[in-house]
């Protein structure tokens, strides 16, 4: 297996794993991958404008836990 085929297979495998990959080609045709830059995070995107701060809505103080009537519990019989 030559270097170009190996790099192509590696690039496809990394993308299928969910990684963000940027291939670096040897020429402008885009058929030979020389190297691959791999990141596990989204690439940084430069911002074009600054957004003004936004006020959040008022959150009430009456937040309680969910009621526990047991309707979603499965009761398995005991084994002796």
Q: What pTM was estimated for this model as a whole?
A: 0.49
- Domain chopping of the chain, boundaries: 3-39
10-32 exposure pattern, b = at least 16 Cβ within 10 A, e = fewer: ebeeeeeeeeebebeeeeeeeee
- For residue 36, the surrounding DSSP H or E stretch is strand 33-39
Which segment, 3-17, 36-50, 59-73, is predicted with the most confidence on average? 3-17
pLDDT number for residue 54 = 73
Say whether pLDDT at 80 is over 80.
no
């Amino acid at each position: 297996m030559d270097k170009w085929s190996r790099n192509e297979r590696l690039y496809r495998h990394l993308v299928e794993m969910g990684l963000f990959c940027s291939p670096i080609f040897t020429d402008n045709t885009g058929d030979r991958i020389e190297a691959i830059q791999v990141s596990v995070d989204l690439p940084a995107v430069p911002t074009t404008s600054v957004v003004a701060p936004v006020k959040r809505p008022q959150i009430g103080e009456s937040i309680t836990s969910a009621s526990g009537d047991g309707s979603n519990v499965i009761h398995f019989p005991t084994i002796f």
